[in-house]
Structure 1
Amino acid sequence: MNAPAPTPEAEPLAGYRIGVTAARKAEEQITLIERRGATVEWAPFLSVEPNRIDAPALRAATQAVIDRPVDLFVATTGIGIRSWFDAAESWGLLEPLLATLGEAEILARGPKSVGALRRRGLRELWAPESECFEDVLAHLRGRDLNGLRIVVQEHGQSLSMVAHALRRRGAVVTVVTVYRVESADDPAPMFRMVDLVAERKLDAVTFTSAPAVASLMDVAGVIGRRDEVVAALQADVMATCVGPVTAAAFEMWGVPTVQPDRSRLAAMVKLLETELPSRKHGTALDVAGHTLVLHGDVVWLDGTPVHLSPAPLAVLQSLLVNPGHVVSRRELLAVLPGGATNSEHAVDMAIARLRAAIGTGSVQTVVKRGYRLVVS
């Protein structure tokens, strides 16, 4: 017995091509997206083991924290806090470190850092609902920091500018670099992903960390395609971020992003289900008595997938821009694959194939004007 054909509800991302840039939990993310019918292109933009720890430097920084009372401690990442405390434990320094930090006012950037602190018996005094580091800084702006000793746990990228800003206000700042995030070792997949974005061959790209955004832009700059990548992300390729910290990395490039209400992987994938179809003609239309939905490159006709070749698909996409409105033969000729090498006969053939696929009454010929979808 044959399995029933998938429906847009069962595979809401069928026909879409989505880029994944994550190194950590990449397999989990890819599986979640592929289960929803999408084709995935994967290129890790960070090292698979990105959290490189300089043990001697971290031990020296830990001892420096212990040696003097701390007034305020800023925790920025869960993995950073866990890695720091585990390393301190291996050196026999955990107990004095926790005692020093336990006397300080603790600010935590988000729930992951809160969880890591509480596992070691430390309690935060405040954490922003947004999970944005900028909101932690905003929380401090109205306060007198003169003479306060502030310890900031770095989150993989340099926070030296933050430290300088706090020092300008009179604080004595110690930045603890637990780890550094490094780019992936193999550049080939990154180059390919940049090309796919620049050439607008992807519908969306997902990002789960701000360093991955920075790495994408760095690679695009190296191969001379940064302007094309930014233009594509501003228009046709949806930048999908796991949360506000990652999304903030796109602000300097003027790239719009989408992000879930909760900074979780499953929530980000769920967001793709709703955002992509709504941006890519995902609304169901009544066309000549049939229900038609275009998901990416796949047409669903009354719940059954209809795979079109490039020419009729291009014609359908053009007709769907303004359903029911007439599109001239010249406009349809311009969107056909092959461009200037096509003749008007190519339009006739594409229309004939489209009618054969979705119904002969679906596309109406408007004499001397062009063609229109028969919608109600």
Structure 2
Amino acid sequence: MTDGPPGPLSGFRIGVTASRRSEEQISLLERRGAQVMHAPALSEHPNWIDEDALRTATRGVLDQPIDIFLATTGIGMRAWFEAAERWGLLEPLLDKLGTAEILARGPKSVGALRRHGLRELWAPESEEFDDVLSHLRGRDLTGRRIVVQEHGQSLSMAAHALRRQGAEVTTVAVYRVLPAEDPEPMFALIERIVARDLDAVTFTAAPAVSALMEAAVSAGHRDEVIAAFTADVVASSVGPVTAAAFEMWGVPSIYPGRSRLAAMVKQLEAELPSRAVGTSLGVAGHTLLLHGDDVRLDGAEIKLSPAPYAVLQALLVNPGTVVSRRELLAALPSGTAGSEHAVEMAVARLRAALGTRCIQTVVKRGYRLAVDPVGTA
């Protein structure tokens, strides 16, 4: 048994796809008792900038008037301003953007703008780019020149929608997100999702969702991954922007009210226990809890080797019902010595772990769990 009270995520298995701040997230989860599998979806240095292409795009922005400017990410705006400063173009760029109606997707892009003296006219509370587009959807944009700062993925479809409203649209790709250098952990994660061997997988960036789904398609597991996320494995997103990346796949995703790492972990603390399908019984005055391979007695973790674990599973099929030695022998894992003595040894080890009163011997018949009269806990 382990010392101290169990954490709120004890017994739960969680996949982490983050590359940035992954150590912090893993620590938060493990301190709460979770078993963590780390499979980075993106490169540790994901924000690759094509300096020549960005310089050319910047000069194109400076060459013509701007009516509306859409800022989508704080990291993208900071990278653009830093690059422009290196080229001696920061002041002209700020002057040009300052003449436009500025719409910002969320607080991070707002912060990056304001640090350089630029003020947004409007930003959605949702922090979703779709709501920025909705803000523009009812307007006549004929002849209006719109500049869109892209995040790590292309916004060509959004630009096309604005052009259909009559706008002249220029997209500026400040950076591109690169996949993880080693894809093997991601494929291993997909296998565990398909096997329903994880309770949740966390995502802190929309490109991470795309990377996982693209890997699932490549591995031939697209439908299985979608089915697992829909039924048994929780897709946990840090916020609505990341969750929106799942929508095109028809995958439900949960996210907290505040787009913060700690809030995402806190939500999992409440969500996973409420979804857990396990067995909880009152046995000989104790509470016995099984969730997956995790066994707990009065909240303390119990480590069982394969043979006593197999006996416990057989006794739990119909709690309180007598199970014969022959039936228990058949339940033992392959490779176990095929005799009733093997059953007696497995029962003895199970009693040593749970307490002698939890497993009762019924003379000439077999064994049963000493289920409390009140029944299921």
**SS across alignment from 2:77:** helix
Q: Deviations over 1:60-107 (max 9, x none)?
A: 111111222211111111100100011011111111111111121111
Partner of 2:269: 273
Partner of 1:7: 5
Alignment of 1:99-118 (within 5 A): 99-118=95-114
CA distance in 1, matches of 2:193, 2:320: 31
Structure 1 pair 231/352, CA: closer, same or farther in 2 (3 Å)?
farther
Whether the 8 Å contact between 2:44 and 2:180 is mirrored in structure 1 is yes
Whether the 8 Å contact between 2:2 and 2:300 is mirrored in structure 1 is no
Alignment of 1:192-211 (within 5 A): 192-211=188-207
Whether the 8 Å contact between 1:327 and 1:372 is mirrored in structure 2 is no
Alignment of 1:142-221 (within 5 A): 142-221=138-217
User: TM-score, normalised on structure 2?
Assistant: 0.83
Whether the 8 Å contact between 1:29 and 1:265 is mirrored in structure 2 is yes
Partner of 1:69: 65
Partner of 1:58: 54
CA distance in 2, matches of 1:360, 1:248: 53
Structure 1 pair 312/146, CA: closer, same or farther in 2 (3 Å)?
farther
Structure 1 pair 137/348, CA: closer, same or farther in 2 (3 Å)?
farther
Is residue 2:12 matched to residue 1:16?
yes
Partner of 2:41: 45
Partner of 1:88: 84
**SS across alignment from 1:250:** helix
Give the aligned residue type for 1:136: V
Report the alpha carbon displacement of residue 35 of structure 1 after superposing the two structures with TM: 1.5
Considering only aligned residues, what root-mean-square deviation do their CA atoms show, in Å?
Answer: 3.7
Pick from 209, 221, 228 the counterpart of residue 225 of structure 1: 221
CA distance in 2, matches of 1:88, 1:95: 8
Whether the 8 Å contact between 1:277 and 1:295 is mirrored in structure 2 is no
User: Larger Rg: 1 or 2?
Assistant: 2
Structure 1 pair 302/54, CA: closer, same or farther in 2 (3 Å)?
same
Structure 1 pair 78/325, CA: closer, same or farther in 2 (3 Å)?
farther
Report the alpha carbon displacement of residue 297 of structure 1 after superposing the two structures with TM: 3.5
Is residue 2:376 matched to residue 1:375?
yes
Whether the 8 Å contact between 2:204 and 2:242 is mirrored in structure 1 is yes
Whether the 8 Å contact between 1:154 and 1:178 is mirrored in structure 2 is yes
Aligned residues: 366
User: TM-score, normalised on structure 1?
Assistant: 0.83
Unaligned stretches of 5+ in structure 1?
A: none
Report the alpha carbon displacement of residue 356 of structure 1 after superposing the two structures with TM: 6.4
Partner of 1:121: 117
Give the aligned residue type for 2:5: T
Structure 1 pair 291/81, CA: closer, same or farther in 2 (3 Å)?
same
CA distance in 1, matches of 2:308, 2:93: 67
Instruction: Give % identity.
Output: 66
Whether the 8 Å contact between 2:70 and 2:104 is mirrored in structure 1 is yes
Q: Deviations over 1:230-272 (max 9, x none)?
A: 2222222211111111111112222221111111111111222
Whether the 8 Å contact between 1:284 and 1:293 is mirrored in structure 2 is yes
Whether the 8 Å contact between 1:281 and 1:320 is mirrored in structure 2 is no
Structure 1 pair 6/98, CA: closer, same or farther in 2 (3 Å)?
same
Structure number having the greater strand percentage = 2
Structure 1 pair 80/237, CA: closer, same or farther in 2 (3 Å)?
same
Whether the 8 Å contact between 2:16 and 2:36 is mirrored in structure 1 is yes
CA distance in 2, matches of 1:315, 1:239: 34
Give the aligned residue type for 1:205: V
**SS across alignment from 1:161:** helix
Whether the 8 Å contact between 2:144 and 2:168 is mirrored in structure 1 is yes
Whether the 8 Å contact between 2:18 and 2:208 is mirrored in structure 1 is yes
Is residue 2:248 matched to residue 1:252?
yes
Structure 1 pair 235/143, CA: closer, same or farther in 2 (3 Å)?
same
Report the alpha carbon displacement of residue 182 of structure 1 after superposing the two structures with TM: 1.4
Report the alpha carbon displacement of residue 298 of structure 1 after superposing the two structures with TM: 2.8
**SS across alignment from 2:121:** coil
Structure 1 pair 371/303, CA: closer, same or farther in 2 (3 Å)?
closer
Structure 1 pair 288/107, CA: closer, same or farther in 2 (3 Å)?
farther
Whether the 8 Å contact between 1:207 and 1:242 is mirrored in structure 2 is yes
Structure 1 pair 320/328, CA: closer, same or farther in 2 (3 Å)?
closer
Give the aligned residue type for 2:4: P
Unaligned stretches of 5+ in structure 2?
A: none
Pick from 238, 243, 258 the counterpart of residue 239 of structure 2: 243
Whether the 8 Å contact between 1:18 and 1:202 is mirrored in structure 2 is yes
Give the aligned residue type for 1:6: G
